[in-house]
Amino acid sequence: MTQIVKRKILSILIVSAMITHCGVKQNDYDKIKAEKELVEEEVKRINNEKHETAIVRRGPKVEINNTEVKELLSRFNNQKYDIYIRFPANYKKSGNNYPVLYVLDAEVNFGGISYIVQRLIKDGIIPEIFVVGIAYQGEQSEDDYYSFRCRDLTPTVDKAFMKGHQQMKDGAGGAENFAKFIELELFPFITEKYKVKNESRSLYGHSFGGLFGFYVLLNRPQMFDKYLLLSPSLWWDANAILKDAKKYIAETKASKLYVGTGELENSKQHGTNQSMVDQHLEMVDLMKGKKPDSLIIKSEIIENETHRTIFGTGFTKGLRFIYSKEI
């Protein structure tokens, strides 16, 4: 509130007291009353202006250098996706095509992904790569976000899980449609618009994203040649993904698979008798016994990490591994 307005209010209070105790003509009283109402309106306007200024100052979003956002509508599930693009530093000047890393859950991890990628490139640990993040379009509630993820990243319907999670209103078992969106809509879009190497496509996923990664590796082996999967939700639908591994692992065309799970992810999961560490080890043992010679697997149980804290360490370790021979 300005000093002028404060002084006006003080004057009005003094005059009001004089009216009450000393007597003042009606005309003078009406003038004072009108001025008082004007001052009150001015105070209200200033308070509203302060509130609006505070909102504006909170509003602007942080931007990441060398990035842009596109929008795609999938005909397979009628979902609008925001596609986050991170360019290599010299992309515009270079005539090179770049390996592509496709990232799930980009609305929550793209900032961290971009920073780690930048650091590893600067130190010559990984090659310059083109990053494509897949996110749900616009603002949504936390329940909506997890509901979309459950639909897109799970290959089957886990009836027991769905019964206990009524907020997952978009259902489950949509991994095949989501995979079709990536392969038949997103891949062509990226190939047409950007300078990328179609023969070098990698996928990063965590939790349900890790489950989706295994589903694609086993059921659509032509899509990616490298996988970085953290804390995969292999417990889903009573470990149903393990059945796929037993049937299809020999057919994969992938060259590298990194799987990391936190050491502290050791509680039994969703009605199974196994922890995520147990399920990780079982899947890796199964795959190593049946995989083609061309697939190199690195498996790590990462010390002192949980399901939520594994990202920084696990993602960094995974990038180092899947791109280690491409410098």
Would you say residue 20 has pLDDT above 60? no
- What is the structure's pLDDT at 53? 47
Question: Which whole number is the average pLDDT over 282-287?
Answer: 94
State the pTM of this model: 0.81
* b/e burial code for range 91-118 (CB count within 10 A of at least 16 → b): beeeeeebbbbbbbbbbebbeebbebbb
- Residue 10, Ramachandran bin (φ over 0: left; ψ between -120 and 50: alpha; else beta): alpha
The two tokens of residue 11 are 């004057």
**pLDDT band at residue 141 using 50, 70 and 90 as cut-offs:** confident
Mean pLDDT, residues 209-233 taken together: 96
CA–CA separation, 184 and 137 (whole Å) = 19
Average pLDDT for the chain: 87
Angstrom distance (rounded) from CA 326 to CA 127: 6
The pLDDT tens digits for 232-277 are 999 999 999 998 888 888 878 899 999 999 999 988 766 677 899 9
- Cβ-proximal residues to 210 (8 Å cutoff; 6+ apart), any chain: 229, 230, 231, 232, 233, 234, 259
Pseudo-torsion of CA 243, 244, 246, 252, nearest 10°?
-170
pLDDT, tens digit, for every residue of 144-203? 899 999 999 999 998 988 888 877 888 899 999 999 999 999 999 999 999 999 999 999
Q: How far is CA 152 from the centre of its chain?
A: 14
Residue 184: predicted pLDDT: 98
Sorted by where each begins, the domain ranges of the chain are 3-58, 67-322
Q: What is the pLDDT of residue 54?
A: 47
What ranges in the chain are assigned the alpha helix state H? 3-22, 26-58, 106-122, 142-153, 159-163, 175-180, 187-193, 208-219, 236-248, 276-290, 310-322
Who has greater pLDDT, 290 or 228?
228
Q: Of the spans 272-281, 283-292, 301-310, which averages the highest pLDDT?
A: 301-310
Q: How does DSSP assign 283-323, residue by residue?
A: HHHHHHHH--TT-EEEEEEETT--TTTHHHHHHHHHHHHHT
Q: CA 280, 322, 64 angle in degrees (round to 5)?
A: 105
In angstroms, the CA 66 to CA 87 distance is: 5
To the question of domain 67-322 being in CATH 3.30.465.10, the answer is: no
Q: Is the dihedral of CA 119, 122, 127, 132 positive or negative?
A: positive
The model's pLDDT over 26-50, given as tens digits with 9 standing for 90+, comes to 666 566 666 667 766 766 776 666 5
Q: Are 275 and 261 in contact (CB under 8 A)?
A: no
| CA nearest neighbour of 76 among 145, 137, 148, 152 | 152
Per residue in 55-112, pLDDT (tens digit) is 444 555 778 999 999 999 999 999 999 999 999 999 999 999 999 999 999 999 999 9
Q: Name residues whose C-beta falls within 8 Å of residue 202's C-beta, 6 or more positions apart in sequence.
A: 99, 100, 101, 102, 129, 224, 225, 226, 227, 228, 322, 323
